[in-house]
Amino acid sequence: QVQLVESGGGLVQAGGSLRLSCAASGRTFSIYAMGWFRQAPGKEREFVAAIIRSTGYTNYADSVKGRFTISRDNAKNTVYLQMNSLKPEDTAVYYCAAGIRGGNYVNDRMYDYWGQGTQVTVSS
pLDDT at position 103 is: 82
- Predicted local confidence at residue 47, as pLDDT: 98
Question: What is the model's pLDDT at position 7?
Answer: 95
Beta strands in 1-124 (DSSP E): 2-7, 10-13, 18-26, 33-39, 46-52, 58-60, 68-73, 78-83, 92-99, 113-114, 118-123
Residues 70, 96 contacting (CB under 8 angstroms): no
Count of C-beta atoms within a 10 Å radius of residue 57? 11
Percentage above 70 pLDDT, the chain: 100
What confidence score (pLDDT) does residue 39 get?
98
DSSP state for residue 45 in the 8-state scheme:
-
pLDDT on residue 49: 98
Let me know: does 86 contact 14? Beta carbons within 8 Å.
yes
Over the stretch 81-118, which tens digit does the pLDDT of each residue have?
A: 999 999 999 999 999 999 999 888 999 999 999 999 99
**How much is the pLDDT for 25?**
96
At residue 27, the pLDDT reads 93
44: CB partners within 8 A, 6+ apart: none
> pLDDT of 43-81, one tens digit each?
999 999 999 999 999 999 999 999 999 999 999 999 999
